[in-house]
């Protein structure tokens, strides 16, 4: 295989991932070895081998405790986080508390117990996406250039861990960008806005497991996240589960057998119901057929779109509530929104599109790009620009991004957050501030690093820190410490401090292990 210079864009999703590349003046979504344009974010350890992607998903039923999914829900988080604790309860695989409160996934492989961090599992999925790209480009190189997307609400730790996963997968990660930013780029909304106008864009991203609604203001080459709302546990899978429950009830009525305690039968039904649900976005009714579902009994029922909508109307209304909340948090009216972009497979559902269009007073929705591919599409455009592989159309893309949460320190303020870099600052950026001692003869200062919008540091997220010793004794307010926050283009933070009278320095890069 030959060397190549094609950069790729990867949408590393909770349930599915997608990879794309810029090729001969257009974006190409790359098809995997199963002929699919999106790939399951699954890793399954069988008795003898490790499977990744669609094959891993297909074998998951045989190895339920060794099939890992949802790694994105764990990445960069602490074991003790409330969301991690509640997710663990519904996963068939085991997660334990590792060093520094890091969640570790436990699997059994070739007779041995093995531990994996979420970034290890994500790196396996990313390596699969890389292989898909290599097969397309007929090339294999030591480091493939890539842009990877993350939700805009991901904090520094989650971004760092995603970056680490990319490196482990042998990718040269050019940049980590926000998913709504990538979707807006896919539709060229930054170009529509140009340098002198601004556009407010709502990105409605409804995937298999999560709903993310974001409001961006785009202009002057900046993608400014004004507000985000969503539900990390509301997705297409909830709709599948409702359909499965319906089938189970009907089977019970017809056959007087309750199969809700049979995981194998339920898994079979889920696959069939998901297919039926997808079909109902394009036709008005469908036959749900599950061959020899239980004890050799077949199941067959006709299911209409009307029934589907009626059954899930509360879920659709919840989606609309989150759209309203996002607008309210951004302090905008419906008429302020210039574009509404649909992302995620579940946004194909006609009822959802109808409710959104009605809410936005008949506005045409941006849906010409496949919604499950829009994020990878935008990431591929940005990857091409960043790697210098641009031709014609792409040349004037601008690539600024902003930080989602304020970053600061309590250095010299005792429990109060001194904001060093306010949220929505364009990155990369570097900010200095001089702090001084609060007590006479104070010889050390604590440099804690926090993110968040609260006045007291204890209400914000602690990212890391260090103590600066060796300050020469002096009356309070005399010794000076120069603190510098530097965020690179990936949103990764380096913090340094220098005692100005002695030149003594200390620095840290905040990593996901904290």
* CB nearer to ligand AMP: pick between 192 and 278: 278
**How many CB atoms lie under 10 A from the CB of residue 197?**
11
Is residue 11 part of the annotated active site? The answer reads yes
Return the residues of window 328-347 that contact ligand AMP according to CB under 6 A: 344-346
Active-site choice (28, 54, 205, 372): 205
Q: Does 348 help bind ligand AMP (rule: CB under 6 A)? A: yes
Residue 40 contacts ligand AMP per CB under 6 A:
no
Residue given tokens 């297909």 in the structure block: 58
| Given 38, 158, 228, 382, the residue binding ligand AMP (CB under 6 A) | 38
CA 269 vs. chain centroid, Å, equals: 28
Residue 439, Ramachandran bin (φ over 0: left; ψ between -120 and 50: alpha; else beta): beta
Instruction: Report, in angstroms and rounded to the nearest whole number, the Rg of the chain calculated over CA atoms.
Output: 25
HEC per residue, 98-155: CHHHCEEEEEEECCEEEEEEHHHHHHHHHHHHHHHHHHHHCECCCCEEEEEEECCCCC
As measured in angstroms, the least distance from the Cβ of 208 to ligand AMP is 3
| 341, 349, 402, 483: residue in contact with ligand AMP (rule CB under 6 A) | 349
Residue 210 CB, shortest distance to ligand AMP, in Å, is: 8
| 41: contact with ligand AMP by CB under 6 A | no
List 11, 28, 224, 373, catalytic entry: 11
Identity of the residue, 13 or 452, whose beta carbon is nearer to ligand AMP in the bound complex = 13
Please report whether residue 9 would count as binding ligand AMP according to CB under 6 A.
no
Which residue lies nearer to ligand AMP by CB, 162 or 490?
162
Determine the Cα–Cα distance for residues 444 and 427; give it in Å rounded to an integer: 31
Does 277 participate in binding ligand AMP (rule CB under 6 A)?
yes
Q: How far is the CB of 260 from ligand AMP (least distance, A)?
A: 21
Nearer to ligand AMP, 288 or 407 (CB): 288
Choosing from 9, 12, 13, 465, the residue that interacts with ligand AMP (CB under 6 A) is 13
- Give yes or no for residue 485 binding ligand AMP (CB under 6 A): no
Cα atoms found within 13 Å of the Cα of residue 364, Cβ hemisphere only: 3
Contact between 281 and ligand AMP per CB under 6 A: yes
Cα(213)–Cα(210) distance, rounded to whole angstroms?
10
Residue 514 CB burial class (10 angstroms; 0-12, 13-18, ≥19): middle
207 binds ligand AMP (CB under 6 A): yes
Listing from the earlier edge strand, what are the strands of the sheet with 461-468?
A: 418-421, 407-409, 445-451, 461-468
Question: Known catalytic residue: 324?
Answer: no
Which H, E and C letters describe 416-433, residue by residue?
ECEEEECCCCEECEEEEE
Q: Three-state SS for 95? A: strand
Find out whether 70 and 91 touch, Cβ atoms under 8 Å.
Answer: yes
Binding of ligand AMP by 274 (CB under 6 A): yes
Burial 290-328 (b: 16+ CB within 10 A, else e): beebbeeeebeeebebeebbeebeebbeebbebbeebbe
Count of residues that interact with ligand AMP, criterion CB under 6 A? 19
Give the C-alpha separation, 198 to 124, whole Å: 39
CB of 333 to ligand AMP, least distance (A): 28
b/e code 263-286 from CB counts within 10 Å (16+ = b): eebbebbbebbbebbbebbeeeeb
Active-site position among 156, 179, 190, 237: 179
Q: Alpha-carbon distance 277 to 286, whole Å?
A: 9
Instruction: Note whether 208 binds ligand AMP by CB under 6 A.
Output: yes
Q: Could you tell me the smallest distance in angstroms from the CB atom of residue 303 to ligand AMP?
A: 13
179 is a catalytic site residue: yes
Per-residue binding letters, 210-249, with ligand AMP (x by CB under 6 A)? -------------------------xxx------------
Whole-number Å distance between alpha carbons of 53 and 39:
6
- Residue 360 structure tokens: 């936005």
Which residue's CB is nearer to ligand AMP, number 281 or number 494? 281
Residue window 85-124: x/- pattern of binding to ligand AMP, with contact defined by CB under 6 A: ----------------------------------------
* 306 in active site: no
Whose Cβ is closer to ligand AMP: residue 279's or residue 484's? 279
Q: What is the DSSP letter of 345?
A: G
Which residues, 416 to 445, sit near ligand AMP by CB under 6 A?
Answer: none
Residues 351-370 binding ligand AMP (CB under 6 A) are: none
Active site amino acids: 11, 72, 179, 205
Give me the residues that bind ligand AMP (CB under 6 A), please. Answer: 13, 15-16, 38, 207-208, 235-237, 274, 277-278, 281, 344-346, 348-349, 372
């Amino acid at each position: 295989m030959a060397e190549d210079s094609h950069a790729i864009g990867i949408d590393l999703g909770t349930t599915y991932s997608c990879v794309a590349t810029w090729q001969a003046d257009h974006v190409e979504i790359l098809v995997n070895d199963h002929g699919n344009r999106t790939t399951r974010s699954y890793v399954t350890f069988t008795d003898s081998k490790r499977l990744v992607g669609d094959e891993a998903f297909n074998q998951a039923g045989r190895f339920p405790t060794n099939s890992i999914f949802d790694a994105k829900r764990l990445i960069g988080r602490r074991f003790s986080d409330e969301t991690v604790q509640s997710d663990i309860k519904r996963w068939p695989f085991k997660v334990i508390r590792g060093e520094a409160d890091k969640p570790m996934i436990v699997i059994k492989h070739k007779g041995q117990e093995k531990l994996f961090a979420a970034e290890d599992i994500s790196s396996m999925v990313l390596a699969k996406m890389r292989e898909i790209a290599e097969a397309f480009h007929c090339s294999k190189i030591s480091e493939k250039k890539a842009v990877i997307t993350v939700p805009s609400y991901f904090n520094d730790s989650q971004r760092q861990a995603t970056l680490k996963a990319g490196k482990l997968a042998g990718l040269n990660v050019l940049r980590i960008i926000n998913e709504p930013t990538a979707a807006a780029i896919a539709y060229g909304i930054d170009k529509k806005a140009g340098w002198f106008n601004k556009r407010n864009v709502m990105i409605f991203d409804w995937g298999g497991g999560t709903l993310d609604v974001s409001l961006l203001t785009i202009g002057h080459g900046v993608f400014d996240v004004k507000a985000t709302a969503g539900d990390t546990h509301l997705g297409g899978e909830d709709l599948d589960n409702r359909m499965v429950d319906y089938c189970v009830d009907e089977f019970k009525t017809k056959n007087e057998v309750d199969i809700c305690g049979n995981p194998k039968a339920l898994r079979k039904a889920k696959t069939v119901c998901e297919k039926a649900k997808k079909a109902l976005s394009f036709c008005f009714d469908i036959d749900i057929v599950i061959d020899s579902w239980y004890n050799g009994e077949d199941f067959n029922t006709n299911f209409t779109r009307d029934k589907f909508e009626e059954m899930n109307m509360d879920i659709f209304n919840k989606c609309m509530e989150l759209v309203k909340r996002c607008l309210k948090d951004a302090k905008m009216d419906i008429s302020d929104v210039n574009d509404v972009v649909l992302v995620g497979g579940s946004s194909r559902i006609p009822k959802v599109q109808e409710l959104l269009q009605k809410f936005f007073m008949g506005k045409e929705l941006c849906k010409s790009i496949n919604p499950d591919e829009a994020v990878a599409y935008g990431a591929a455009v940005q990857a091409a620009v960043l790697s210098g592989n641009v031709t014609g159309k792409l040349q004037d893309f601008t690539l600024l991004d902003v930080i989602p949460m304020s970053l600061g320190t309590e250095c010299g303020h005792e429990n109060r957050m001194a904001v060093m870099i306010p949220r929505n600052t364009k990155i990369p950026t570097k900010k200095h501030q001089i702090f001084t001692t609060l007590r006479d003869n104070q010889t050390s200062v604590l440099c804690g690093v926090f993110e968040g919008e609260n006045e007291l540091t204890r209400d914000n997220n602690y990212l890391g820190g260090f103590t600066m010793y060796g300050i020469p004794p002096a009356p309070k307010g005399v010794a000076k410490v120069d603190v510098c926050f530097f965020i690179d283009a990936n949103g990764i933070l380096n913090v340094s401090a220098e005692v100005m009278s002695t030149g003594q320095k200390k620095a840290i890069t905040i990593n996901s292990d904290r």
